[in-house]
């Protein structure tokens, strides 16, 4: 009997484990079920302690009934329910399996209580001669004609938990299988050792205590009982973007540190405030009104979002807002984000300025000048690469078609060297404008340029040449007068 008082140790451990897991997330279904499982084991351990130490037959019989209810009626279903809540969170098995398991466990408990109170002894047959004389093994009073049904329910619950863990192991990604494997091994080991242990008051508590201890180690090591909102809370607080969470009324319920930094507010003063009140100084600094944001907060639908760019004195912010929806798609709140995009805006403006400069240079690279009706002059200056040659050709064709030019004067005075690229440009320009009914005249050819053109084998057919621009204009004038 003295050794029965060692049961105080597992009682303390079980209660500590229940409190430890429950405090991680008091609202989580898995946490609550685990705490209920621990408290159920605690009650059965207390019942074993009372049975082992009391001389009262009444207390001993109540203890025996309590052991039957907690161990054989509830523990198997609770264990399977914990596995469902942990690893089948969005599966149909959870939505239908959890209520069914708990309902069957409670139904068996009600049946056992009725059986004991009416002394029908279908499930439990309490040995009156042994009550009040110490611990009685469960196989002694689990001797009713229907007790096999209770045993089948108990072992069926354990087998179901094992099967669910195996299924969860196959469903889980490879990196998330370790905690499931440890739970599965501990459950198999505790179940395998149970028949080998002697009849003793400590025996019924060793297996659940071992399994619960492994459960606690796995929970601490792999944080399996930490809810999604705990993880999201850590992300929420460490995010670089300022964030506000508002309820359905549009009032702030939570703000992260980044929002305090970007908006210059204090976390203690933002709760239950309207986000428009908190963000009003930013809008005033940007010289913009908040009508769109106020309208979105008041009437925004579940699928709509909001975004606005604020140009402040020294920085640029993007304010975005989106709905927070429940599982049915109904809007239950809003998430507002405040992001500093000053550097990105500077880069964007620099790229736009660079694009404008490139466009200006492109326009100046081929300045087609109409000098008289039907005559265009194209002065070529500087080096010419493939991209510039393509652009010049396009400009020539567009200008000739637009101005209805009859003569095109290409002035090569500003080209230091005539290479293959320039030669190809001239040939393509001559051929292209000829199709549009325009004649090409090459002017400003120096001696070294002429020598290079000959060496390159430039096809001169259909290409008129003149020494200077004045000579080219005189030729163009005569050509137009002759046509008229």
The CATH architecture assigned to 2-225 reads Up-down Bundle (1.20)
Delimit the CATH 1.20.1070 region(s) of the chain. Answer: 2-225
Percent of the chain with pLDDT strictly greater than 90: 0
Q: Which 3 state secondary structure label does DSSP give 383?
A: coil
Write the pLDDT tens digit of every residue in 28-69.
788 888 888 888 888 888 888 787 777 887 787 788 888 888
Give the pLDDT confidence score for residue 233 in this predicted structure.
65
* 334 has pLDDT over 70: yes
Give the pLDDT confidence score for residue 267 in this predicted structure.
64
For β-strands 331-340 and 316-325, DSSP reports them as antiparallel
Write the pLDDT tens digit of every residue in 111-153.
888 887 887 777 777 776 666 666 777 777 777 787 888 888 8
pTM of the model: 0.50
What is the band of 408 on the pLDDT scale with cuts at 50, 70, 90? confident
* CATH code for residues 366-483: 3.30.750.24
Q: Which 3 state secondary structure label does DSSP give 244?
A: strand
Give the pLDDT confidence score for residue 466 in this predicted structure.
85
List the beta bridge partners of residue 466.
443
Give the pLDDT confidence score for residue 268 in this predicted structure.
67
* 300 has pLDDT over 60: no
Write the pLDDT tens digit of every residue in 163-209.
888 988 888 877 778 888 888 888 888 766 666 666 666 666 677 77
Delimit the CATH 3.30.750.24 region(s) of the chain. Answer: 366-483
DSSP character at residue 327: T
Residues in the chain: 484
Cα-based distances in Å from 455 to 307, 411, 449: 64, 20, 10
DSSP character at residue 324: E
Give the pLDDT confidence score for residue 69 in this predicted structure.
85
Write the pLDDT tens digit of every residue in 230-274.
556 667 777 788 888 888 777 888 888 888 888 777 766 778 788
Write the pLDDT tens digit of every residue in 437-462.
888 888 888 877 777 777 777 666 66
SS (H, E, C) 334-356: EEEEEEECHHHHHHHHHHHHHHH
Tell me which fold the domain 230-344 belongs to. Answer: Beta-Lactamase (3.30.450)
């Amino acid at each position: 009997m003295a050794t029965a008082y060692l049961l105080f140790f597992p009682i303390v451990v079980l209660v500590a484990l229940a409190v430890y897991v429950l405090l991680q997330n008091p609202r989580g279904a898995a946490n609550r079920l685990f705490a209920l499982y621990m408290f159920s084991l605690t009650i059965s351990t207390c019942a074993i302690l009372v049975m082992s130490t009391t001389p009262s037959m009444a207390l001993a019989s109540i203890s025996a009934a309590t052991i039957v209810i907690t161990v054989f009626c509830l523990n198997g279903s609770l264990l399977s329910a914990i596995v469902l809540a942990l690893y089948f969170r969005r599966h149909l098995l959870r939505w239908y399996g959890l209520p069914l398991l708990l309902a069957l466990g409670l139904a068996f408990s009600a049946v056992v209580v009725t059986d004991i109170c009416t002394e029908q002894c279908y499930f439990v047959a309490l040995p009156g001669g042994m009550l009040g004389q110490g611990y009685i093994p469960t196989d002694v009073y689990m001797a009713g004609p229907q007790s096999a049904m209770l045993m089948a329910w108990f072992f069926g619950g354990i087998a179901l938990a094992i099967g669910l863990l195996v299924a969860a192991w196959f469903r889980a990604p490879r990196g998330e299988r370790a905690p499931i494997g440890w739970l599965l091994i501990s459950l198999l080991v505790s179940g395998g050792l149970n028949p080998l242990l002697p009849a003793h008051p400590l025996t019924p508590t060793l297996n659940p205590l071992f399994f619960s201890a492994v459960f606690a180690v796995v929970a601490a090591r792999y944080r399996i009982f930490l809810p999604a909102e705990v993880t999201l809370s850590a992300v929420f607080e460490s995010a670089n973007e300022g964030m506000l969470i508002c309820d359905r009324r549009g009032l702030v319920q939570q703000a992260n540190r980044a929002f305090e930094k970007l908006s210059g507010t204090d976390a203690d003063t933002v709760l239950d405030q309207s986000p428009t009140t908190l963000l009003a100084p930013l809008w005033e600094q940007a010289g913009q009104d908040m009508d769109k944001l106020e309208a979105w907060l008041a009437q925004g639908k579940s699928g709509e979002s909001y975004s606005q760019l604020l140009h402040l004195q020294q920085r640029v912010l993007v304010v975005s807002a989106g709905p927070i929806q429940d599982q049915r798609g109904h809007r239950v709140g809003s998430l507002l984000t405040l992001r500093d995009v000053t550097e990105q805006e500077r880069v964007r403006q620099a790229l736009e300025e660079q694009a404008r400069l490139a466009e200006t240079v492109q326009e100046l690279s081929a300045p087609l000048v109409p000098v008289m009706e039907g005559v265009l002059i194209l002065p070529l200056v500087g080096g010419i690469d493939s991209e510039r040659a393509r652009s010049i050709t396009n400009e020539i064709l567009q200008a000739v078609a637009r101005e209805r030019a009859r003569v095109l004067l290409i002035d090569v005075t500003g080209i230091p060297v005539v290479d293959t690229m320039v030669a190809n440009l001239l040939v393509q320009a001559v051929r292209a404008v000829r199709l549009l009914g325009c004649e090409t005249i090459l002017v400003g050819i120096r001696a070294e340029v002429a020598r290079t053109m000959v060496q390159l084998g430039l096809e001169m057919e259909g290409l008129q040449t003149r020494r200077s621009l004045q000579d080219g204009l005189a030729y163009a004038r005569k050509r137009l007068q002759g046509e008229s």
